[in-house]
């Protein structure tokens, strides 16, 4: 594609989309420019797979993927932001989707660079991937699996493996007790579900929530404040907290 063709195509795209989301329109334009002017750097899916390890505790991708702390990533390319049924998105993410944010190479690249700057109010606690090449690799990896089919009901709770915290996972937590205990958490973790330097813990599924607390308690995940906070929590308390935070919707 020559530069002139690129511009013509970009302008047509801009005109065509009756309701063109400004970010998507401009970003498509910018992306096409980028593609035309510099021979776009090829991402390496294998390197991307390694980098994806950092995302795995929250996001599943591939056959039978399910929603966890974050939405599953099957069918991501071309998907409107904030649209999966049953996943508790921040209202900021849903709004951006309604206004036209669609995931593609360019929008993902921008989002992954600095999530909180691209979608202010996102629940995703990830700080961002600053290296351009790394983002290209991860996007290449996501692409290779994007056409896989997710689980039939991606939000249904998974049968959990026998693991740490299993006893708490088997309990039915009392959300009222959880609400009382939560007052210690919300001094730092905002009840609105926003993540501004401290992760959002609102609307998590039970299993990863309980696992995370046990990992802090036993110092598998080392964090001084969280270890101190969890050290005196028993199974009933952990289950209650999971029930309460899981029942909340992010704003």
State the residues that interact with another protein by CB under 8 A. Answer: 127, 175-177, 180-181, 183-184, 186-192, 194-198, 224-225, 227-229, 231-232, 247-249, 251
Residue 102 pairs in a beta bridge with 80
The nearest distance, CB 60 to another protein, in angstroms, is 25
For another protein, the closer of residues 105 and 215 by Cβ is: 215
Minimum CB distance to another protein, residue 179 (Å): 8
* Of residues 2 and 187, the one with the C-beta less far from another protein: 187
CA-to-CA distance for 220 and 227, rounded, in angstroms? 10
Contacts of 135 by beta carbon, 8 Å cutoff, 6+ apart = 108, 109, 112, 113, 129
- Give the list of residues 6+ apart from residue 142 with CB closer than 8 angstroms, or none: 48, 52, 61, 73, 76, 77, 108
If the CB atoms of residues 22 and 234 are measured against another protein, the closer one turns out to be: 234
Shortest Cβ distance from residue 169 to another protein (Å)?
21
Shortest reach from residue 191's CB to another protein, in Å: 7
92 Cβ contact partners less than 8 Å away, ≥ 6 residues apart: 119, 120, 121, 122
| Nearest CB to another protein, comparing residues 227 and 235 | 227
Nearer to another protein, 10 or 233 (CB): 233
DSSP string covering 1-23: --HHHHHHHHHHHHHH-TT--HH
Least distance in angstroms from the C-beta of 201 to another protein: 11
Beta-carbon contacts of 70 under 8 Å, excluding residues fewer than 6 positions away, are 55, 58, 59, 124
């Amino acid at each position: 594609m020559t530069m002139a063709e690129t511009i013509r195509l970009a302008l047509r795209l801009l005109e065509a989309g009756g309701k063109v989301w400004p970010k998507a329109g401009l970003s498509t334009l910018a992306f096409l420019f980028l593609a035309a002017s510099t021979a776009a750097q090829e991402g390496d899916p294998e390197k991307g797979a390694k980098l994806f390890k950092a995302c795995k505790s929250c996001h599943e991708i591939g056959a039978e993927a399910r929603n966890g702390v974050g939405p599953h990533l099957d069918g991501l390319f071309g998907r409107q932001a904030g649209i999966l049924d049953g996943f508790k998105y921040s209202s900021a993410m849903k709004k951006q989707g309604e206004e036209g944010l669609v995931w593609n190479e360019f929008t993902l690249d921008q989002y992954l660079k600095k999530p909180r700057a691209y979608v202010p109010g996102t629940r995703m606690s990830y700080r961002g991937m600053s290296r351009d090449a790394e983002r290209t690799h991860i996007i290449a990896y996501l692409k290779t699996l994007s056409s896989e089919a997710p689980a039939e009901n991606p939000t249904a709770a998974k049968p959990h493996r026998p693991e740490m915290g299993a006893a708490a996972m088997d309990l039915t937590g009392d959300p009222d007790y959880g609400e009382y205990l939560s007052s210690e958490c919300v001094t730092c973790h905002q009840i609105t579900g926003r993540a501004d330097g401290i992760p959002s813990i609102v609307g998590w599924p039970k299993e990863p929530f309980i696992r995370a607390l046990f990992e802090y308690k036993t110092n598998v995940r080392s964090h001084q404040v969280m270890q101190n906070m969890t050290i005196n929590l028993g199974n009933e308390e952990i289950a209650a907290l999971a029930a309460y935070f899981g029942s909340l919707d992010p704003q």
